[in-house]
Amino acid sequence: MNGKPSICYRNPCRALSRRLTAIVLLVLGFLCVASMADDVDDEYTRRVRALAIDDVSGHLELAKWCRSNQRWQFVAQRCQHILTLEPSHQPAKLLLETARAYLQKDQSNDPTSQKTRSAGGPRSPSTTGKALRELTKEEIQQVRRVELHHDQPERLSIRIDRKALGSFLAHVRNDPGFGYSNQDFYKLPKTEQAQLILLHGDENDKKNIQIRNDPQRLREFDRRVLPMVIQNCATSDCHGGSGGGRFRLFGGRRLKTPASYATFVALHQYKTENGSLIDRTNPADSLLLSYGLPPGPVPEKNHPIRIRAMFDNAEDREYKKMLDWLLSLDLHEPDYGFELIKP
């Protein structure tokens, strides 16, 4: 011993190896957690699509499953959906309160969220939108007249009084494109008379047409498209709950005519600088389709906020169902004579 302190020399290669091992294990841990999160999200999507819209007990069980996996946003979505079907459903109310408490806590602890709010950044549609109003009886008639097929058979109950028919015939007496004598015109079924009035008549003639049930386009919308909109768009994190962007959609098991028609018109009138929700000229470019897909490489075609995708991809059966309906619409831009969604 020479009085100098002893020095312990470590193997630098071994120390580096330990550090690398720790980093690799940490990264693998994060990847594992991310993979598990994706698995839960995918399973949630699968379960939602397997449920009937009005299966209250099924949606409640899914909400409880989401709670066990700490997916509070999904818990809120399912409870909100249940309450649109049964507003007094107590278990859904209690579970929704729990979910909101967790979501509020997460948001208050998220510095990015706080920074965005303080900077006046984009807000979730669930806090900004105004509820749609139901359509009046006359507005419903206007939509039916616009959406009535002009060149295809329709099975409808239509009322046009004889005085209005006579007034129309007087207006088209000198119209070379009309091609019907008074006698032949009176023999036509009411639906065909209405189609001719909508093609050749003036605004006063058209207003005399009273259509008592839904034209085919509206029936197809109710049957094929509206259920997807209610289940995927009229949710608490999108255009449901307390608001949504520029409008809040109606929710419920089945919408009555004034609310269903309001939804139909709103989807037509909602436009952005990047396109229209329903683009009749180029149906495949409709934002209603691209917003329903997972985020893609074209940012302006993605939904403005992160939501659960309505479709897996463009080959999804539901995507094709919606596209088929869009392709069935007339090419012209409809003018219903009133506005629900203002710029």
Give how far Cα 262 sits from Cα of 131, 135, 162, 256, 326, Å: 11, 6, 31, 10, 17
Q: First-to-last CA distance in the chain? A: 89
Q: What is the pLDDT of residue 232?
A: 58
Nearest-angstrom CA–CA distance, 244 and 128:
6
Condensed to tens digits (0 to 9), the pLDDT of residues 230-278 reads 765 544 444 544 444 555 555 555 567 888 898 899 889 888 888 888 9
The distance of Cα 197 from the centroid of its chain, to the nearest Å, equals: 34
Nearest-angstrom CA–CA distance, 64 and 61:
5
The distance of Cα 253 from the centroid of its chain, to the nearest Å, equals: 15
Residue 192, both tokens: 């065909």
Nearest-angstrom CA–CA distance, 229 and 310:
9
Q: What is the pLDDT of residue 189?
A: 94
**What residues in the chain have per-residue pLDDT under 70?**
1-38, 104-131, 231-255, 304-307, 342-343
In angstroms, how far apart are the furthest CA atoms of the chain?
A: 130
Tell me the pTM: 0.59
Condensed to tens digits (0 to 9), the pLDDT of residues 304-340 reads 666 677 788 999 999 999 899 999 888 888 999 998 8
Q: Say which residues have a Cβ less than 8 Å from residue 220's Cβ, sequence separation at least 6.
A: 325, 328
Tell me the domains of the chain and their CATH numbers. 32-110 (1.25.40), 157-211 (no CATH), 216-327 (no CATH)
Q: Among 310, 317, 316, 276, which Cα is nearest to 294's?
A: 310
Q: What are the start-end ranges of the H helices in 3-71?
A: 12-50, 56-68
Only one residue has tokens 């985020």, namely 295
Per-position DSSP letters for 197-222, written without gaps between them: HHHH--HHHHHT-EE-S--HHHHHII
Nearest-angstrom CA–CA distance, 29 and 224:
43
Q: What is the pLDDT of residue 198?
A: 93
Cβ count near 82 (within 10 Å): 24
The distance of Cα 184 from the centroid of its chain, to the nearest Å, equals: 46
Q: What are the start-end ranges of the H helices in 123-256?
A: 137-147, 162-171, 182-187, 190-200, 203-207, 216-220, 226-232
Q: What is the pLDDT of residue 297?
A: 82
